[in-house]
Structure 1
Amino acid sequence: MKNNNKNARRRFLYQIGATTLASAATPFASFAQEKAEERILRYDKIFSANDKVRIGVIGYGVQGHFDLSTALKVPGVELAGICDLYSGRVERAKEEFGKDLYTTRNYKDLLDRDDIDAVLICTTDVWHAQITLDALAKGKHVYLEKPMVHKIEEGYAVMKAAKASGKVCQIGSQRVSSVGYAKAKELLASGEIGNLNMVNAMWDRQSSIGAWEYTIPNDASAETTDWETFIEVTDKMAFDAKKFFWWRAFKELGTGVAGDLYIHLLSGTHFMTNSIGPESIYSTGQFSYWKDGRNMPDVMSGVMQYPDSDEHPAFQLNVRVNFISGTGGKEVIELIGSKGVIQVNGNDITVKKNIMPEAPGFGGYDSVFTFPERMQEQMTKEYNAKWTKEQTQRKAIGDVIYKAPEGYSDHLDHFTNFFDAIRSGKEVVEDAEFGFRAAAPALSCNDSYFSKKIIQWDPKTMKLV
């Protein structure tokens, strides 16, 4: 008897499944995509070099090297000096640029030089605010790596000083200068995907270098790193080579995945949507793999709610960083609207459209099959009389892919924007206020993670609530 009941139940479930799948073909039909169309983004690279700009670099680590090499590709830009606390990097600078290059381990000596017009600040996060304030006070233009500040409260003084100085201050989230992001911004504003309601943003990695486990030199010591100077703006702590060279992993010196990578996702989202920021922020994280003494998680997710505004409808931003992602790593921002999705992958853009059928859903995974048979027949007849087959189906729309030109660099565009602003007096694409509007929510994610609370933020006044 039990076996018969089991067999009967299996037959019933099989019939229901088969019926549901078969009848689902109408209301939930997947439509055939037309062939994707690929377009190359138009881009005219224009450099102006009317005036020579001499630069100094403060912090000559990985990012300092990348920033300097890119800055020197802009015509009319010359290197005048390099500062780093680690003696090995000072030595390396002379190997690269000659023994006559001015080098120092004290950034204030570099700021005192009259032959330096602008500085690239590429230091540990905890030093960003102090060095920026000192540089502006000395009359230097400032290119400041992201995040703009280590703590939210530091941002107000930096914004005030930048505005009062009359000097150019650009924050280094280079994606906001991307031709791809500019195209995504244009497409979103034109209503290409309907009304925005959600943004999914991720920047995953799967490597020890990506997880900040940089190679530590074999001569690392309190003397070679000038450790006492390094901790001048922090609580006192004993020398630790990891904290000097892997500083991003430690909250007392860096800002973790939020300050390193959330910040790119936030600044890019703000640029494309014209947003001034979220009103509520929640983040959670865990230590999944890189248990190397760090106190900042290697897997982290955040949810931010953006209010309705004149610039955009209300939307939710989901951010994620996974340092041990089996995908091998990827950087993607998805702008999701009522009619489609704009996928931002590096500097390349893909527009996918999904237009809901004009007719309401009926049948398939629906309640109709649970009604008496006579009623099903009557309602089906009425539905078919009211709606045509075309009205019950989604429209077939092919993807459109916008690709950046071969060899394109948003990093170079960002520096070109910086030096053009110095020469012409025009505004930069990412000033201190823009940088702070991205930094504050990112840093609030860390506050939320450690406090296990939702952080309330007022994007208009740029204050914690």
Structure 2
Amino acid sequence: MNKLQRRDFLKGLAAVPFLGYFAFAFKNNITKEINQKGDDYLKVLRIDKLEAPTQKLNPPTGKNNNTLRIGLVGVGWRGEDLLLSLGYAHPEIIEKNTVNGQYNNYFRTTYAENEDLNVEIAGICDTFEVHSQRGVEISKSLIRSKSGKGKTKPAKIYPNYREMIANKEIDAIIIATADHTHAQIAIEAAKAGIHVYLEKPMAHSIEDAVKLRDTIKSASVVFQLGHQNRQQMSFKIARELYLKGVLGDVNMVQTYTNRNTIFGAWIRDDAFDHRLGNKDNINWEEFLGNAPKCEFDYERYFSWQRYSDYGTSITGNDFSHQYDCINQILRLGIPETVVATGGQYYYKHHGDMPDIFNAVFNYPERGLTMTYNGTLKNEAYQQSRILGSEATMDIDRAIMLFKDRNSVRYKDIKTSPSDPFYYYDPSSDIDAVSSATSKVYMKGGYGPTFIDNKIVDATFLHLKEWVDTIRGHGETSCNIDMGFEEAVTFNLANLAYVHKKQVRWDKENEKAIIG
């Protein structure tokens, strides 16, 4: 199927409300051929009854007497998104999404109509004073309540995360800071008995990942790593399809992330309100934490992802998402060996992050290899691809299955290997978002998902899962063990890139062996 055909087909699908899973058979003559043989198409494929699409939203757990008091550390772009998913928005965001006194359809269905989780934003902390003040304004503006819009008491500003953690009024903490501070803040919070929602990636190094995992396992707290793709219906369906054997023996996985904007390359000196920043309203020492000491640097602060002192490279930023999606489906775990190459070819004056990154992850016990190819100078979108002996799966927020030309299982299905024989895409309409980066996020499955015939914000579901688990209902899907596998895997790739050697994972001693 060429790109034009696929685009036209997706347009047709967009007109069908809340599609569940369905076969692609009506697109060609498969149905006719199967019916002539008297067979049921879906039963032949053993995908006639899937459980994931029947999943219902979990019932509310927030009651009047069990308000959860949350502290947010880091009120940048992602921190503000997390507040929005919790039901809090800055007045200017509310105004932008309000027409004639009513929320626009996207804002209403994706955010405002979600369950009131009965949480209070009790504390705000950021090393940039402008963001701290903005966080307080957001904490006063509730978009999700019984009366619709509402005002709540403002959050308290803390000068640093340590004072927030020391306050006995904080029940849980959300960490959305620079990567190099993730593990340390999470460790101190867990030791204080505070539940932790940690934005990905989990840790700046393998050593940090080990310390954090051990701390969480010894503490009586609920941990959730912020891979909201865990809530995407497509990955749940893909897991079921894999377990039903539709792919045969999986032997290769191909993952990609392509970007081609300054913002997408994490050069964000001029983004948002960053030009308001200076050494007087930024707590530089607090930002540095345990990183190497240096003089105040505006670019290092606002484009920290591009510096290995603070960020985790293109692997921690982008590949970690792709890995976690695949890990949901295949349960790959940590690879035995990793090799990586690439280079900083274009943005040479902005930190030390490579613009091109290629890595190979070997799983000899599983008989498969996973590859990752990332570029910051091309935006051609590619789904992740899982290759099996019987079929190939293209997967993001949509799923396409293609039979292998030499398939035994599908030999009687008369369709071209270039046309999918199974398709899932509940909605391909992403016109509600405008920026190129946001569209990439949406295609990759980082935006809304579809559950119980409703459009639901995936980040809201991920936060709800964490909050519900704190209240004793269910468990988190991206727990500390899943986070540990993510952190070790991408850090192995970073080590392979830096040292230009194969890196092996010593499972028994939990160490990376270089060369």
TM category, shorter: 0.7 to 0.9
Match of 1:276 in 2: 333
The within-5 A match list for 1:178-197 is: 178-197=232-251
In structure 2, how many angstroms separate the alpha carbons of the residues matched to 1:87 and 1:152?
32
SS at match of 1:239: coil
Match of 1:380 in 2: none
Using the TM superposition, give the Cα deviation of residue 105 of structure 1 relative to its aligned residue in structure 2, in angstroms. 2.7
Match of 2:401 in 1: 351
1:178, 1:413 within 8 Å by CA — same for their partners in 2? no
In structure 1, how many angstroms separate the alpha carbons of the residues matched to 2:355 and 2:302?
17
Task: Please report the RMSD computed on the Cα atoms of aligned residues, expressed in angstroms.
Answer: 2.6
The within-5 A match list for 1:61-460 is: 61-72=76-87, 74=115, 75-98=117-140, 100-214=154-268, 215=270, 217-308=274-365, 313-327=366-380, 330=381, 332-345=383-396, 347-356=397-406, 395-396=414-415, 398-404=420-426, 405=450, 407-424=455-472, 426-459=474-507
Using the TM superposition, give the Cα deviation of residue 450 of structure 1 relative to its aligned residue in structure 2, in angstroms. 1.1
1:278, 1:459 within 8 Å by CA — same for their partners in 2? no
2:394 maps to a residue whose letter is Q
Structure 2 vs 1, CA of residues 35 and 127 (structure 1 numbering), >3 Å: closer, same or farther?
farther
In structure 2, how many angstroms separate the alpha carbons of the residues matched to 1:140 and 1:394?
55
1:348 maps to a residue whose letter is A
Using the TM superposition, give the Cα deviation of residue 232 of structure 1 relative to its aligned residue in structure 2, in angstroms. 2.8
For the pair shown, the structure with the greater C-alpha radius of gyration is 1
2:415, 2:421 within 8 Å by CA — same for their partners in 1? no
1:58, 1:82 within 8 Å by CA — same for their partners in 2? yes
Using the TM superposition, give the Cα deviation of residue 35 of structure 1 relative to its aligned residue in structure 2, in angstroms. 6.5
Using the TM superposition, give the Cα deviation of residue 268 of structure 1 relative to its aligned residue in structure 2, in angstroms. 1.5
1:321-379 CA-partner distances (Å, limit 9, x unpaired): 2111142xx3622111011111112x221122224177xxxxxxxxxxxxxxxxxxxxx
Structure 2 vs 1, CA of residues 461 and 43 (structure 1 numbering), >3 Å: closer, same or farther?
farther
Structure 2 vs 1, CA of residues 201 and 294 (structure 1 numbering), >3 Å: closer, same or farther?
same
**Larger RCO of the pair (alpha carbons < 8 Å, separation 6+):** 1
In structure 1, how many angstroms separate the alpha carbons of the residues matched to 2:263 and 2:55?
33
1:354, 1:395 within 8 Å by CA — same for their partners in 2? no
1:222 maps to a residue whose letter is K
2:129, 2:282 within 8 Å by CA — same for their partners in 1? yes
How many residues are aligned here?
A: 395
Instruction: Compare 113-122 and 35-44 and name the one that shifted more.
Output: 35-44
Using the TM superposition, give the Cα deviation of residue 401 of structure 1 relative to its aligned residue in structure 2, in angstroms. 1.1
The within-5 A match list for 1:25-36 is: 34=28
1:91 maps to a residue whose letter is Q
Using the TM superposition, give the Cα deviation of residue 70 of structure 1 relative to its aligned residue in structure 2, in angstroms. 1.3
Using the TM superposition, give the Cα deviation of residue 425 of structure 1 relative to its aligned residue in structure 2, in angstroms. 5.7
1:5-61 CA-partner distances (Å, limit 9, x unpaired): xxxxxxxxxxxxxxxxxxxxxxxxxxxx83799999444222422442221100111
SS at match of 2:276: coil
1:422-461 CA-partner distances (Å, limit 9, x unpaired): 1116431111121011111101111111110011014576
Give the structure-1-normalised TM-score. 0.79
Using the TM superposition, give the Cα deviation of residue 288 of structure 1 relative to its aligned residue in structure 2, in angstroms. 3.4
2:478 maps to a residue whose letter is E
1:139-198 CA-partner distances (Å, limit 9, x unpaired): 110001111111111111111110111100111112123221111111111111111011
Structure 2 vs 1, CA of residues 71 and 95 (structure 1 numbering), >3 Å: closer, same or farther?
closer
Give the structure-2-normalised TM-score. 0.72
Structure 2 vs 1, CA of residues 156 and 60 (structure 1 numbering), >3 Å: closer, same or farther?
same
Match of 1:370 in 2: none
In structure 1, how many angstroms separate the alpha carbons of the residues matched to 2:456 and 2:277?
37
Structure 2 vs 1, CA of residues 89 and 337 (structure 1 numbering), >3 Å: closer, same or farther?
same
SS at match of 2:347: coil
Q: Which runs of 5+ in 2 are unaligned?
A: 1-26, 32-41, 43-47, 88-113, 141-152, 427-449
In structure 2, how many angstroms separate the alpha carbons of the residues matched to 1:137 and 1:219?
35
Instruction: Compare 400-409 and 33-42 and name the one that shifted more.
Output: 33-42
1:295 maps to a residue whose letter is D
Of 44, 61, 66, the residue aligned with 2:56 is: 44
Structure 2 vs 1, CA of residues 460 and 307 (structure 1 numbering), >3 Å: closer, same or farther?
farther
Q: Which runs of 5+ in 1 are unaligned?
A: 1-32, 359-389
Structure 2 vs 1, CA of residues 236 and 286 (structure 1 numbering), >3 Å: closer, same or farther?
same
1:231-256 CA-partner distances (Å, limit 9, x unpaired): 23111111111111111100011111
In structure 1, how many angstroms separate the alpha carbons of the residues matched to 2:508 and 2:239?
21
Instruction: Compare 248-257 and 201-210 and name the one that shifted more.
Output: 201-210
Structure 2 vs 1, CA of residues 35 and 257 (structure 1 numbering), >3 Å: closer, same or farther?
farther
